[in-house]
Structure 1
């Protein structure tokens, strides 16, 4: 009887352990399948978007062919459409915005992590993050009614006078100072992507081990040398990720660009001249598109932006992979 009594509790304990193991296995299986399903859902959504864009743009692509990418003309009356001007405006404005925002964003991140007095770090950091939360239409309204008139009366006339007669630069900064135009749009985009680049760069700078920076300071390095030779090399992968996030925002921005770029379907060498982007063209004309070919051409612009963004992000991912391998080596 004693042996039977002792065997019963141990048998119950074994059954309880087996029940817990089965429950944990079931929970783990459900978790694994749900995460796999979420990943597959993302791929299905991405594929569905791409398929819908291809189907919607097929009429325009089949009619114009490769000339759709090389033609500047955009005439809904004669149904002659070309995507060269929007593509040019998208690439140029995004490139200028990144060239301006990256050094400023990295500089702000260095100041916040290395030079800023501690009582000011949190207020400045919160202010930078609040810039990222401002709606794009607010940037557009501010750019149209405040920033563009300021550029028209001050900066643009000054730049035109400075570079007048300088070969190459005189055509890059030529023409009447409209206020709106490619350069204004690029500056607005730079302001919009600056908080993203700054916040991510600051966060990755904070991950640098203090012992590395203290060792560099201990052997007599200046703040510039510590930043250049320790902080940035240690965090270059994260910095590149922040830059790519800002570039993706700049490529797809719509409302702010629509307000200040001028919405002119032409390519000009001058950055002061009005232009257009893919997203601005779609936003301006989609509700007024009359006819299937017109609508299909606008959808084709969306497909081009989709492919352009995909390839740029793919190239960025490839660069990050090479940096990781080099760091591992």
Structure 2
């Protein structure tokens, strides 16, 4: 189905009618093992669920088509996807990470990668001169997260891909916040796209998963696939089926998420109790021009910095009635979270910062809820 828009791809690729029955909804294959011949020959291409599953293969086809890659792998979680990829690097490898990023990734490269002899450095990925200086020596991997979590910084994927490749690096982009409906890093020069499919792909806060999509089905893709099969961080078939189900409504949900976010940002940006709104759709955002160039829309993730510090932020969060105080994002319900409180013993987020995932409720109700909480 080449040449189709992403919304159409999300509905149809991987969700084709079952050839055996004609069922429009994809079948769910739960079997852990598959019949093979006496010498191990695979009768229908499968042997054991950990090494391959028809439902997972459908999801992989969807992800490949959406991101424009040659290979996709699915994992039990976003963290499993990141860990499997990074642990496929050899001892002595060096990776450059963004200084604003998901706290789970930060714990991974601060606590666990050094045990494997992998060097991790950080830089402000929105500062190309700083990245260029950091790439002065050979680099194994350059990791991009745009928009970043939780400050919503924007990184120029095309420019960073050029810098990373010149330094000998594999360029990875975390596309969780944007999804391929809004941004396609592989078309901008990235080599690998990472997703926490738990978020917008699942879309209903009820399924955990992760994915890697590779621009080329090359030696690194094979190495990561082999490590996934051996170490076993595979996505369960029912989770794959739920994620496929979420893909079918992804285009409609992202459109409404983004429309709601735009209205909420307009309200918050004008409110005297809010010191700053971090959302790349604002013309005043430092990365707005880059975001407008590489994104179809600006997404439904934002963060706000509340006047009065930590206590004022917590007081506001505690007064909300429709927004739920909870971790995660991308579901139908709007969520808010004081990030510094959940980032562990060494939080990096400002103490007055609240991260918001704008859901699918009526925007007027969400704005009224924010208004009463801010007073």
Normalization by structure 1: what TM-score? 0.30
Select the structure that is richer in strand: 2
TM-score (norm 2): 0.27
Q: Which has the higher contact order (CA 8 A, sep 6+)?
A: 1
User: As a proportion of its length, which structure holds more helix?
Assistant: 1
Query: Which of these two proteins has the greater Rg computed from alpha carbons?
Result: 1
